[in-house]
Amino acid sequence: MLQRVRRAGLLALIGALLGACMGSGGGPVTRADLNVLESDDDFAIVSLRRGQKVEDLARIFLGSEGEAWQIREVNGGVAAKARGIVAVPLKPLNPTGVYADAYRTVPILCYHQFTRGDEASQRLEFSARDFEAQLRYMRREGFQFLSFADLAEIMQGKRPIPEKSVVLTIDDGYGSVYDVAWPLLKKYNARATLFIYTDFIGAAAALSWEELREMDASELIEIESHGKSHASLAPIAEDTSVDSYRLRLAKELSGSEAVFMARLGRSPRFLSYPYGNSSLEIARMLDEVGYELAATVTRGANGSFVDPFLLHRTMIYDDHTIDDLKTFLRTSRQH
């Protein structure tokens, strides 16, 4: 009898331990499921349990599975084997992304209009077929689609530049963004930043505010400013004095902001310069009124130390091939 009781107690204990071991019962791994051996402000040392992956640690400690590269970086660059011990960086190891012989960069691509078919009727139009081919390529190659908000955090040193990342931007606010690009962005779970000039919205060829609000509510699309009237924000012939130039800039920025407030209930944080043209004056003004980043159309990728108001951006034209895209998606540069 005593033996039976002892045996029952032992089996109950084993059962309880095994129950605890099963964790959250087949659902996603949570912080409570982890076996953290040691931790301080900078690192956690975790012993992976059966079924747990580095991607789970990235999601739990770093906010996204896409950040798993940070864990690999402090574990000799190799994927931790199942049931092994893994070091997890709790702070970015290298927030500026500058290494001994090269530095990391983030390419920004700039699109304008899209067509449903296979062909584009003008250089700034991009066919749905080609856009999907580009998205498929970037997804397959493991590129993270960053938002401008992500980029702002990188520029502020709050997060590191990923191994492979890209920012998609779409200028102007053509209706084809909603009809053609938006379904593809959803299909490939690709983030994009849409820069609109507010005078255009509601025109026949443009997006409506309803469409913009729908996309803005998603996690995939950011709606930001491309000015009010699409006038160049660099000095132009009509600017007869510095004062008249400043006045024109102030009108462009405040006009755009007023519409953002009225239609989307918030101010824009980022801007893309119409025609990609900037000046010291507009860069200073953007900084003063609280913008965080602004993009030109000067081709090139961005290190963490570039001027945040003169980000490089590469225009995508309908004659660009996947091979062209590969050259635009440069994610590191030798010193």
Partner 1 sequence: MARKTATALALASVQLGGCGLLLPPGSVDDFVAQQRAAAESAEAGDELVVALAHWRTLAMLNPDDQRTRAEIDSLKAQIATRAGEAVERGEAAYERGDTQAGDAAMLEALALRPGMEQALTPLRASKSVAAHGRQDKKVAAEYAQRAAVEDEEQAAAMQDALAVLEQSLANGDYERVLAEAKGSEAAMRDLTQRAHLGLADRAGKRGDRDGELHHLGVAVALANGEDRKLMAREEALRESLSDEAYQGGLELLQTDLARAIEHFEQAMLYDPKNLAAKQKLEQAQKLKNNLERIRGA
- One-letter amino acid of 114: F
CB-based burial label for 66 (10 Å; 0-12, 13-18, 19+): buried
Query: Does the footprint of partner 1 cover residue 310 (CB under 8 A)?
Result: yes
Query: Smallest gap, in angstroms, from Cβ of residue 102 to partner 1?
Result: 9
Nearer to partner 1, 223 or 283 (CB): 283
Among all chains, which residue has been given the structure tokens 């590269």?
Answer: 69
Structure letter (DSSP) for residue 317: -
Query: Does the footprint of partner 1 cover residue 229 (CB under 8 A)?
Result: no
Query: Does the footprint of partner 1 cover residue 208 (CB under 8 A)?
Result: no
Phi (first) and psi of residue 323, to 5 degrees:
-65, -40
Residue range at the interface with partner 1 (CB under 8 A); choices 76-84, 104-112, 146-154, 214-222: 76-84
Query: Does the footprint of partner 1 cover residue 85 (CB under 8 A)?
Result: yes
Among 43, 137, 209, 317, binds partner 1 (CB under 8 A): 43
Among 79, 234, 264, 315, binds partner 1 (CB under 8 A): 234
Query: Does the footprint of partner 1 cover residue 42 (CB under 8 A)?
Result: yes
CA-nearest of 51, 56, 52, 49 to 71 is 56
151, 232, 257, 267, 273 from 290: Cα distances, Å? 16, 20, 11, 9, 16
Query: Does the footprint of partner 1 cover residue 8 (CB under 8 A)?
Result: no
- Distance (Å, rounded) from C-alpha 164 to C-alpha 157? 17
Residue range at the interface with partner 1 (CB under 8 A); choices 77-85, 163-171, 223-231, 247-255: 77-85
Query: Does the footprint of partner 1 cover residue 242 (CB under 8 A)?
Result: no
187: left (phi over 0), alpha (psi -120 to 50) or beta: alpha
Query: Does the footprint of partner 1 cover residue 235 (CB under 8 A)?
Result: yes
Pair 298, 68: CB distance under 8 Å: no
- Distance (Å, rounded) from C-alpha 295 to C-alpha 222? 15
- Distance (Å, rounded) from C-alpha 156 to C-alpha 92? 12
Within 244-303, the residues that bind partner 1 by CB under 8 A are: 275-280, 283, 296, 298, 303
Residues that bind partner 1 (CB under 8 A): 3, 7, 10-11, 14, 17-18, 20-23, 35, 37-40, 42-43, 45, 47-50, 73-78, 83-87, 89, 92-101, 103, 157, 232, 234-237, 275-280, 283, 296, 298, 303, 305-307, 310, 335
